[in-house]
A and B are shown apart, each in its own frame.
Chain A
Amino acid sequence: MKNKRTGVVGVIAAAALAFGVVAGVPAQAADKEIVIWADETRGPNLDKLMSQKSDWVKGYTFKIVTYSSFDALKAAFDNATDKSGPDIIMAANDWVATGAKAGKLAPLTLSSKVKSQFTAGQLYDLSYKGKLYGLPVDVNNVAMIYNEKIVTSAPKSFGDMVDAYTAKKSSLKAGLCVAGGGMSWGALGISTALGAYPYKITASSAVDTADPMNAATVAANVTKYLLGADGKSNGFLAASDTGCKDNFLAGKVAFAIIGNWEWKDYLAKGFKMNLSPVPGITSGTYAPSFGSVSGALLTTYAATHGVEAGAKTALFNIFGSAVGARSYQAIEGRPAASKEGAKYAKTAAQKGFAKVAGITSLPQIGAILNGDKTSYWDALPSFWTAVLVDGKDPTTEATKLAAIYKANLAKGLKDL
């Protein structure tokens, strides 16, 4: 028995080894393939784009990998290494600083023809320490819409809105709420109307190095417009964005900040696209919101995979060319970033959002916003909660907010 066993062991080993060796010959290297990672909205758009024209870059095929959500895309990119990482990633502009710092993004240089498709601000959005990491694809912005059954004419100033709310307070849940973009990104217009700027942009589109926010002014405005005599919220501004959309659609809120990716829902409910930025304190002025581009970013994995030149060419041909921008704009609901693409905005809503962005907007500069210790993204929602929910002293809270903005600006300026 013992000998027999040994024999069998030998046979197994030999057979297995033979089989394994034969089957284990590595597969042939695939054709040149450029891998693009995208989130759940842009992935399907790219799939369509690729099916329309197969030779964006001759000799290369494209593989679009669509993640289930923006968070999942980010988690995957955080974990990616050169084995599986993408060659191009469709990302938000505030990923640029992180990705570049981590050595995951690779710089590129644009020809003057491609460059002319974009504004300096858009390219600035996708740059880190003076180097550009991708091409702008589409623009995200928000605009304010009002319910015509509650408000008869467009408000000229922030005070007009509060007055309109006070007049019909009993039948409303809130005067103004943020339906799109959340209480930090989407709510920027409300905070800048009250004077709380994370940074300002000079006439020559550079970042203003002066202190962006005066705490006393902001506190006074908050007290005047958002708080009642008892120091608690007067109910005008909803402190959270949950349910805003439903309640606006149901006629329970007079004004809402909505995103340019969701206007169809409002149109379907019969709302006119009477869009505007948030009015400022002074009648006839407007407060800037974010007009931020999403980009197609080049990764360092492209070079590792030996397709960097192909990936760069793809970026130029698809997102930097007239034909590419036009094709993409036909599929994407958001306004196009490129000038050529913007010509193809069709609907009143798309034009309305473009107009709002044109009146006033602040570029989204990740290096400043992501912050020193506390980011803009965390600080502003906390401010709303503190003054509207917890009933804390607006002066104290505005002073804290101003200190955070100041520190973030100082840190960001070093990184630009």
Chain B
Amino acid sequence: MNKWMTSNLWRHVVAISVVLFSLFPLYLVIISSFNPSGSLNLTSFLPREISFVNYSLLFSDPRIPYLSWMKNSLIIAAAVAILSVTIGAASAFAFSRLRFKGKMSGLKLLLLVQMFPAILAISAVYVIMERVQSFAPGIGLGTRPGLLLVYLGGAMGVNIWLLKGFVDSIPAELDEAAKVDGASPMQIYWLIFIPLATPVLAVVALLSFIGTFNEFILARLFLVDMSERTIAVGLQSFIGGQYSQNWGPFAAGSIIASVPIVVIFLSLQKYIINGLTAGSVKG
């Protein structure tokens, strides 16, 4: 008993206290989502009444195309995840495995570019997309493909850098053996590297997915039509109105929106943990 006390009890105490810390806000969101008065009701810890009015509002009110928002977010986030990893993986492979002039400066540049505070770039990106809009309305301002392009550009730096870390952790022996056998870099990439890196690519794709799902500063500027908005913009509009805040539908909407991400996260947690550490832990 005594031994258990010293070796395990403190572990449980630490874990339980942090679990409570983690769950506290989530509990409040859940209560609020059942509060019919449309407010963030934090006046009592137990719900005074339970109602599903906030949930039903999301699916019945024609002014709140919740399902379209969800669909938009899922499609855009998935497209960004897949495309940015596809493009990023190739670059990461080049930076990791190929020798060429300016590689070091390229890497440094890539790192530096990420450190530029991107907030002001909003104006620049807006101007660019506005111009694109004037000749190619399908991919300019206010369109989902346009936003996708912007996100892809923004995700590139982070993903290449992240992926490079992972690529470095994949043993080079295999592709060196292939090189000796006369395989071209393209062949090494497709036949040896990609199969090996798939789990890692999936993790980066997932992180990219979550990052995109969360973005709202650009999205609220870019996607204007009610039915074209993403979930983050849609939900923010419940509480970002000029005069009113509707916490109830916000809470309900947030809970539903979080479910897919949390489920993916929990079911893939093993890979994610491996993936997150692979980037930094080598050998």
Q: Residues on A close to B: CB < 8 A?
A: 26-27, 39-41, 44, 65-72, 75-76, 79-81, 83-84, 92, 140, 180-181, 243, 245-247, 249-250, 259, 261-262, 265
Chain B CB count within 10 A is highest, among A76, A84, A180, for A84
Q: Is the CB of A39 within 8 A of B242?
A: yes
Q: Which residue of A lies closest to B217 (CB)?
A: A75
Q: Is the CB of A84 within 8 A of B130?
A: yes
> Is B8 interfacial (CB 8 A cutoff)?
no
20 contacts between A and B (CB under 8 A): A26-B135, A27-B137, A65-B224, A68-B233, A69-B241, A69-B242, A70-B242, A72-B220, A72-B221, A72-B237, A72-B240, A75-B221, A79-B221, A83-B130, A83-B133, A243-B43, A245-B39, A246-B41, A246-B43, A250-B43
A79-B221, A84-B130, A246-B37 known, 18 other contacts, Cβ within 8 Å: A26-B135, A39-B241, A41-B242, A66-B226, A68-B220, A68-B224, A68-B233, A68-B240, A69-B237, A70-B242, A71-B240, A79-B126, A80-B130, A81-B130, A84-B134, A243-B43, A261-B244, A262-B243
B243's contact among A71, A79, A259, by CB below 8 Å, is which?
A: A259
Which 10 residue pairs of A and B lie closest in terms of their CB atoms, listed nearest first?
A70-B242, A68-B237, A69-B240, A79-B126, A72-B220, A246-B39, A84-B130, A83-B130, A83-B134, A69-B237
Contacts of A84 in B (CB 8 A): 130, 133-134, 141-142
Contacts of A262 in B (CB 8 A): 243-244
In whole Å, how far is A142's beta carbon from the nearest beta carbon of chain B?
10
Q: Is the CB of A66 within 8 A of B131?
A: no
Contacts of A92 in B (CB 8 A): 242
Contacts of A69 in B (CB 8 A): 220, 236-237, 240-242
Q: Is the CB of A83 within 8 A of B131?
A: yes
Q: Which residue of B lies closest to A268 (CB)?
A: B37
Identify which of residues 38-53 in chain B touch chain A, using a CB-to-CB cut-off of 8 Å.
38-43
Give the distance in Å from the alpha carbon of A175 to the alpha carbon of B40 in the complex. 21
Q: Is the CB of B37 within 8 A of A249?
A: yes
Q: Is the CB of B236 within 8 A of A66?
A: no
Chain B CB count within 10 A is highest, among A26, A40, A180, A265, for A40
Chain A CB count within 10 A is highest, among B43, B122, B242, B244, for B242
Q: Which residue of A lies closest to B242 (CB)?
A: A70
> Is B127 interfacial (CB 8 A cutoff)?
yes
Contacts of A181 in B (CB 8 A): 243
Contacts of A180 in B (CB 8 A): 243
Give the distance in Å from the alpha carbon of A305 to the alpha carbon of B254 in the complex. 40
Q: Is the CB of A79 within 8 A of B234?
A: no
A75-B221, A81-B130, A83-B133 are known contacts. Are A68 and B234 too (CB-CB below 8 A)? yes
Give the distance in Å from the alpha carbon of A76 to the alpha carbon of B225 in the complex. 13
Give the distance in Å from the alpha carbon of A140 to the alpha carbon of B242 in the complex. 11
Give the distance in Å from the alpha carbon of A69 to the alpha carbon of B243 in the complex. 10
> Is B229 interfacial (CB 8 A cutoff)?
yes
Contacts of A243 in B (CB 8 A): 39-40, 42-43
Q: Is the CB of B221 within 8 A of A76?
A: yes
Chain B window 245-256, contacts with chain A (Cβ cutoff 8 Å), 1 for yes, 0 for no: 000000000000
Give the distance in Å from the alpha carbon of A262 to the alpha carbon of B245 in the complex. 11
Contacts of B39 in A (CB 8 A): 243, 245-246
Q: Is the CB of B242 within 8 A of A81?
A: no
> Is B63 interfacial (CB 8 A cutoff)?
yes
Give the distance in Å from the alpha carbon of A213 to the alpha carbon of B136 in the complex. 56
Give the distance in Å from the alpha carbon of A72 to the alpha carbon of B133 in the complex. 19
Give the distance in Å from the alpha carbon of A65 to the alpha carbon of B228 in the complex. 12
> Is B123 interfacial (CB 8 A cutoff)?
yes
Contacts of B142 in A (CB 8 A): 84
Contacts of A140 in B (CB 8 A): 243
Give the distance in Å from the alpha carbon of A26 to the alpha carbon of B229 in the complex. 28
Q: Is the CB of B133 within 8 A of A76?
A: no
Q: Is the CB of B241 within 8 A of A70?
A: yes
In whole Å, how far is A339's beta carbon from the nearest beta carbon of chain B?
24
Contacts of B242 in A (CB 8 A): 39, 41, 69-70, 92
